Structure formats: structure tokens, C-alpha cells
Amino acid sequence: MTAGASTPAWIREAERSQLPVLRLMVWLSLHLGRTASRWVLAGIAGYFTLFAPRSRHASRAYLRRAGAPSSWGAVFRHFFAFSSTVHDRIYLLNGRFDLFDIEIHGAEGLHAALAQRPGALLMGGHLGSFEVLRAVGRGKAQLPVAMLMYAENARKINAILEAINPEASADIIPLGQVKSMLEARDRLDQGALVGMLADRSLGSDPTRPLPFLGAPAQFPMGPWRMAAMLRRPVFFMTGLYLGGNRYQIHLEPLADFSAVERSERDEAIASAMDRYAERLSHFCRIAPNNWFNFFDFWRQ
């Protein structure tokens, strides 16, 4: 286990999005419709392909690791998939499920766990769209999904969500506060799902190297320690974007910390992290354009 001594690359990356531009995009999307406003995405993807060399190189290196083509066209499609998932949030957060074809795999195991005890944890990553599950859970299944996020990310995401649908920001729980654990516990006790993205860490977070797409990468331990303390079942979750209007949600059991004794906690955390990294690799190879970490994820 190592602790990051410096600020991670994902935090150092310059913030390119601007809230006024986002508000304009929201207005155009809701007034012109999804089909017409998607033309803008090609320009966004083209811009990043041509004028964001660090992100372009990271995309190309990742695609090679995932066993996918890494040409200029492949990098463009990678950026276009990312732009599409961000764009689709506008419609998902406004309840426009009629625009999408969404498949859900593995819901039976989740519902079986919820029948035993209210609340479960979802471990995702910057792979596909977590928003598609949050929106479907809140709108179709009447199953609220809250998200635990680093405070700075939570601030930015809240600003974005409020520009799209002010009600959606109520489902964000900032990490790093005394009340974070209590609020997450309360949501779980009320029967909600609580999600975390477990592939990025802050510089001071302890990490553990795990094999990922053929090479070791550092994964944060904080989300798993929190999961163990909350003593709930944990499911891997990804909402893969398959192009057009198609999404595919996958839910797979990773661990059940409700049955783990304190003396067994470290072993259970290690086992769950191993499984998480393996499933992350699996789905990256299945749908490589869904990996949205545009920096050198393997840099130590």
C-alpha cells in the first residue's frame, strides 16, 4: 500500500468546461432536441482530438492497452462517446427516458440483496455513465441513488446539475466532511443506493496497486474502507454507452461487508478491490470507448 505524495493527474488537468457554455448547451438541447443538438458533439470531439495533445496521447495509450484501434479516428470516437454521455445527462436528468434504449443486466441480485436489508453500495468508475443508473433509479424504478463525491468534484457537479435540473443536486453527498458517513448511512437506512467512483484518489489517499489492462495501477482504498464501515452489500456498476441512444447497465456483486467481522475486514477489502479491478478491465475491453480518464492512469 502506498500513499500518493503529490496531486494526482486528474486533479491537475485544466478545467475546460465553462458553466455559461453548459447552460447554453442545456438550452439548445432542450429546445432543439437530442438529434439536432448532437451535431455539436462532433465539433467538441474534433476540438479535443486536434487541440488537446495530452488527452489525445492518453486516449491512444489506453486504447492500445484495451486491445482497441488507436488511430486518429479511434481517438475521435473515444472523445465523441464521452461527449455523448455528458450530453445525454441533460435528457436523463429531465426524465426523458423515452429517448433511450436502456438494458439492465444483474438487477435480480441487487433486488435480492435489498430484500434482505435496505440499502446497498454501488462501486463504479469513470467508465460509461453513472448518471444513466441514477436517472433510471430515480425515475423508473423509484429507487433513489445518491453519490458520494470529493468535495471539489461535488461543488462542480452540483453547479452542472443545477444548470440541468436543480432537483438532481440533492442526491450528491460531499466526501471529506464529518457528516458524510452519517448522511450516507442515513440514505442507506432509508433504502437508497449509494454510489462511489472507486478509480481515482486524492493525493493524500492511501492506494493499492492492482493489475489493470496488463499493468499495475494505483487504486484508492478509501471507498472500500468506507464500504466496510457502512456494512452493506457492494455491487460493481457501469452504464456502458453503446452508440446512438443505447445504454447497457451492468450490476455485479463484489462483496457483502454486512457479514464481515472486523478481524477479516482487510482481507475482504483486498478481495473486493481485486474483483473490482478485474471487472473494470473486462468492461474496458468489451466497450473501450467508455473509459473517461483522459490522463496517464498508470503513471506511478
Query: 127: helix, coil or strand?
Result: strand
Among 115-119, 174-178, 283-287, 290-294, which is the least confidently predicted range? 174-178
* pLDDT level of residue 11 (50, 70, 90 thresholds): very low
Does the pLDDT at position 1 exceed 50? no
- Is residue 35, in this structure, part of any structural domain at all? yes
Q: For residue 167, what pLDDT is reported?
A: 65
Q: For residue 13, what pLDDT is reported?
A: 52
- Is residue 243, in this structure, part of any structural domain at all? yes
Total number of domains in the chain: 1
Arithmetic mean of pLDDT, 267-293: 97
Among 47-56, 152-161, 225-234, 277-286, which is the least confidently predicted range? 152-161
**189 contacts 118 by C-beta, under 8 angstroms:** yes
- Is residue 193, in this structure, part of any structural domain at all? yes
Q: For residue 139, what pLDDT is reported?
A: 61
Among 43-52, 93-102, 118-127, 243-252, which is the least confidently predicted range? 93-102
Q: What is the pLDDT of residues 206-265, one digit of tens each?
A: 999 999 999 999 999 999 999 999 999 999 999 999 999 999 999 999 999 998 888 899
Answer with the residue of higher pLDDT: 41 or 171: 41
Q: What are the φ and ψ backbone dihedral angles of 85, each rounded to 5 degrees?
A: -65, -35
CA distance 248 to 199: 20
**154 contacts 174 by C-beta, under 8 angstroms:** yes
- Is residue 245, in this structure, part of any structural domain at all? yes
- Is residue 220, in this structure, part of any structural domain at all? yes
Arithmetic mean of pLDDT, 58-74: 98
- Is residue 143, in this structure, part of any structural domain at all? yes
Question: ∠ at Cα 129 (125, 135), nearest 5°?
Answer: 120
Question: Residues, the chain, total?
Answer: 300
* pLDDT level of residue 21 (50, 70, 90 thresholds): low
Query: 99: helix, coil or strand?
Result: helix
**222 contacts 216 by C-beta, under 8 angstroms:** no
In this prediction the pTM is: 0.89
Domain containing 39: what range? 14-290
- Is residue 1, in this structure, part of any structural domain at all? no
Q: For residue 157, what pLDDT is reported?
A: 57
Other beta carbons within 10 Å of 255: 24
- Is residue 299, in this structure, part of any structural domain at all? no
Q: What is the pLDDT of residues 152-203, one digit of tens each?
A: 554 555 566 666 666 666 677 887 777 888 999 999 999 999 999 999 876 6
Q: For residue 159, what pLDDT is reported?
A: 64
